């Protein structure tokens, strides 16, 4: 049993939280928790919020920006740069393990206790990157929950896709939780979606696809995905990330597709950091933002979370592995209110990834982050580094930001 003392909730209440068995068991006004043989952590009035979650990472690629340049700055340039570097043998098992572990540590110290990562699974290399990421995740057992998606290479269908299908089968055998892929880039996008549903059904796992990561309004794979999930009666979890071209459609099309996505039960993850970086370079006038139709999806009842995607690699040269950075972009570029933006990097993601939400209420899982900030808006605006991260009520990471003025 433990007490998180002098915490300030988002509604302004000053409270003491009692945690036992990984859950919040009681909430008292500050200073009124009964004395007992309990571990006490005095938060000193810090803001206490649900822990954050990252719905879409690429931990096998993380932290490679210095050695894998992307001269063109666009998506295809990033893909070509990564393929060339991998073919040159630039990434050893040990290197991938250490980079993935470093990225996980950054996520954890910023307040993330749950992450889903896509991992390249392809051809001759098969599950090499997956094994490295799993090994890194073992270092964070009990600290950070890590879900894996097999990001298949193209093509995946027909005789030409045999090696990539074999790699996907190997990944499933090794315990990957989701079938991934990029139908908008595959020569047989509808076939990829159909096969993903069939394979996921047989394996009893979920689907998480990169969808419509481009600005071409003539491409709308999201509609096809929703219709195929509905027609197949697929009961497993489905997520679609990016979905940029939906934002290029007229309002009536946005509403129609959003309704289908809601009916199919597909969660959607806009990824503002990477798409603001990669998209729009060939639109010098009125450059599109590279975001999906967030409001149309929300109005239709779609579960919308937000993620960082790539961090400091050829797909995104910057990024702090801090969901508050993503939340700030959803406020600025996605026109979300601060509280809604925080939900998009915390409880909405938890729901989409199969975890219960945290409302800082009795009975909730005590996955929490305390931040030295005056409010949710202030936390998003300032992103202070003074934080304490709790997994099941246990302190698992902390950082202190010290400021000095020298006159």
Tens of pLDDT, residues 201-238: 999 999 999 999 999 999 999 999 999 999 999 999 99
Q: What average pLDDT does the chain have?
A: 96
Closest listed residue to residue 357, CA positions, set 346, 342, 341: 346
pLDDT at 37: 64
Which secondary structure element, helix H or strand E, spans residue 190, and what is its range?
A: helix 189-203
Rg of the chain over all Cα atoms, to the nearest angstrom: 21
Structure token pair of residue 362: 């009795």
Question: What class is the 52-352 domain?
Answer: alpha beta
Which secondary structure element, helix H or strand E, spans residue 351, and what is its range?
A: helix 347-352
- Planar angle of CA 222, 227, 229, nearest 5 degrees: 95
CATH of 2-51+359-399 given 2.160.20.10, 3.30.70.20, 2.30.40.10, 3.40.50.150: 2.30.40.10
d(CA 252, CA 366): 42
Residue 46 has pLDDT above 70, yes or no: yes
Model confidence band, residue 277 (pLDDT cutoffs 50, 70, 90)? very high
Return the domain boundaries, the chain: 2-51+359-399, 52-352
pLDDT at 393: 96
What φ, ψ does residue 341 adopt, rounded to 5°? Answer: -65, -40
pLDDT at 32: 87
pLDDT at 36: 60
As a whole number, mean pLDDT of residues 25-52 equals: 89
Residue 38 has pLDDT above 90, yes or no: no
- Planar angle of CA 106, 364, 336, nearest 5 degrees: 60
Tens of pLDDT, residues 293-326: 999 999 999 999 999 999 999 999 999 999 999 9
pLDDT at 8: 97
pLDDT at 297: 98
Structure token pair of residue 21: 């068995």
283-303 per-residue burial string, b: 16 or more CB within 10 A, e: under 16? eeeeebbbbbbbbbbbebebb
pLDDT at 124: 75
Structure token pair of residue 288: 């599109």
d(CA 91, CA 218): 37
Tens of pLDDT, residues 344-397: 999 999 999 999 999 999 999 999 999 999 999 999 999 999 999 999 999 999
How does DSSP assign 221-285, residue by residue?
HHHHHHHHHHHHT--S-EEEEE-GGGGGS-HHHHHHHHHHHHHHTEEEE--HHHHHHHTTTT--S
Q: Beta-carbon neighbour count of residue 22 at 10 Å?
A: 14
Model confidence band, residue 39 (pLDDT cutoffs 50, 70, 90)? confident
As a whole number, mean pLDDT of residues 5-31 equals: 96
């Amino acid at each position: 049993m433990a007490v998180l003392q002098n915490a300030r909730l988002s509604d302004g209440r000053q409270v003491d939280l009692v945690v036992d068995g990984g859950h919040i068991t009681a909430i008292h006004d500050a200073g009124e928790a009964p004395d007992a043989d309990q571990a006490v952590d005095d938060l000193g009035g810090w803001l206490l919020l649900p822990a954050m979650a990252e719905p879409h990472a690429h931990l096998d690629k993380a932290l490679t920006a210095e050695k894998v340049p992307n001269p063109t700055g666009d998506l295809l340039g990033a893909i070509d740069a990564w393929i060339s570097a991998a073919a040159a043998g630039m990434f050893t098992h040990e290197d991938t393990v250490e980079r993935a572990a470093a990225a996980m540590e950054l996520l954890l110290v910023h307040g993330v206790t749950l992450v889903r990562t896509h991992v390249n699974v392809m051809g001759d290399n098969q599950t090499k990157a997956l094994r490295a990421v799993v090994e890194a995740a073992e270092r964070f057992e009990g600290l950070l929950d890590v879900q894996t998606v097999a990001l298949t290479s193209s093509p995946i269908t027909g005789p030409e896709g045999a090696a990539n299908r074999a790699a996907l089968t190997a990944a499933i055998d090794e315990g990957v939780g989701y079938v991934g892929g990029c139908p908008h880039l595959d020569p047989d996008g509808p076939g990829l979606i159909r096969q993903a549903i069939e394979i996921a059904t047989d394996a009893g796992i979920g689907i998480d696809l990169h969808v419509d990561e481009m600005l071409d309004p003539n491409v709308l794979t999201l509609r096809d995905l929703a219709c195929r999930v509905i027609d197949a009666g697929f009961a497993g979890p489905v997520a679609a990330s990016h979905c940029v071209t939906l934002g290029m459609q007229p309002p009536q099309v946005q509403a129609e597709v959003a309704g289908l996505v809601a009916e199919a039960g597909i969660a959607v993850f806009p990824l503002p950091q990477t798409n603001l970086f990669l998209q729009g370079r060939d639109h010098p006038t009125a450059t599109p933002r590279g975001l999906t139709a967030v409001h149309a999806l929300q109005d239709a009842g779609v579960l919308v979370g937000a993620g960082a995607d790539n961090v400091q690699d050829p797909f995104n040269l910057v990024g702090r592995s801090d969901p508050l950075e993503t939340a700030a972009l959803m406020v600025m570029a996605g026109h979300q209110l601060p509280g809604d933006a925080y939900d998009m990097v915390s409880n909405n993601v938890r729901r989409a990834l199969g975890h219960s939400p945290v409302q800082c209420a009795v009975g909730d899982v005590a996955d929490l982050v305390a931040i030295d900030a005056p409010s949710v808006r202030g936390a998003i605006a300032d992103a202070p580094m003074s934080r304490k991260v709790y997994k099941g009520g246990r302190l698992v990471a902390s950082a202190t930001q010290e400021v000095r003025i020298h006159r």
